[in-house]
Chain A
């Protein structure tokens, strides 16, 4: 097959760029983790205007106390010993980010190779089928691993905030409750469900490609 559209070539280059960016991101985060920078005790900033979950908010830090205000002061989250919070984010959040960046670097590279084959007219070959299967199984595995890692992160973060944070809503103050049990979830979905089902879908497509290979071989030997 010689005639292919521009789309496989475009997608191939797009995934190549994404893969490089993700790999560089993972590398940069690894460097940060290796250097282990610490927030100086006298760090102060703000108040900075920003958005938290789509709500206009202000953030400020003074004397190791971090304050986030939203809803025109109606909701205030105060974290004492903010340097400890940064350490939690560093030791649990950074590895999670590195895991995500590294996985997507690999995934985008696999997609690049897939579209390279498609661009060459080699859509129905054993090599392409293997690539599709690897992508599917990777998505399945990553959905579970990242869901577990996110569970660990949320657990550590909320354990810290429970001890060091005070939430004030319309003047009423309360401490954050401890999570009842360890949850394996990704963005609220159990077991990283969207990625998991995407992986299953890709594996199903792999079977479609396998049948396509049989038809192609039959066609190639029909003169």
Chain B
């Protein structure tokens, strides 16, 4: 099981750059990049709300559940 963020696809469709979107929703470029590359472990509702507002889309357009794929564990827990 894995949850995928299709942020890059929606950004391409809306012709919005990473820098511009980061500025508009008020998060750092680094954090937006974490979202875009699917490295995030969680997303706040406030961030999701800002993304949907600026990209004029629904949460379902951004978030996708992909069955069958193993969730790749990034950093190990201490």
Shortest Cβ distance from residue A21 to the other chain B in the assembled complex, whole angstroms: 35
In the bound complex, residues from chain A placing their C-beta under 8 Å from that of B75 are 217
Query: B31 at the A/B interface (Cβ < 8 Å)?
Result: yes
Query: A223 at the A/B interface (Cβ < 8 Å)?
Result: yes
Q: Which residue of A lies closest to B5 (CB)?
A: A223
In the bound complex, residues from chain B placing their C-beta under 8 Å from that of A126 are 78
The number of residues on chain A lying at the interface, defined by a beta carbon within 8 Å of a beta carbon of chain B, is 10
Known contacts A218-B41, A218-B42: A223-B78 contact under CB 8 Å: no
In contact, B32 and A223 (Cβ under 8 angstroms): yes
Query: B77 at the A/B interface (Cβ < 8 Å)?
Result: yes
Taking a contact as CB atoms closer than 8 A, the residue among B41, B77, B78 that contacts A129 in the complex is: B78
In contact, A223 and B77 (Cβ under 8 angstroms): no
In contact, B40 and A210 (Cβ under 8 angstroms): no
In contact, A222 and B41 (Cβ under 8 angstroms): yes
Taking a contact as CB atoms closer than 8 A, the residue among A129, A213, A223 that contacts B27 in the complex is: A223
In the bound complex, residues from chain A placing their C-beta under 8 Å from that of B52 are none
Query: B43 at the A/B interface (Cβ < 8 Å)?
Result: yes
Query: B34 at the A/B interface (Cβ < 8 Å)?
Result: yes
Chain A residues within 8 Å of B, Cβ to Cβ: 126, 129, 210, 213-214, 217-218, 221-223
| Cβ contacts A to B, 7 pairs, < 8 Å | A129-B78, A210-B78, A214-B77, A221-B42, A221-B74, A223-B31, A223-B43
- The 5 nearest A-B residue pairs measured at CB: A221-B41, A222-B42, A213-B78, A223-B31, A210-B78
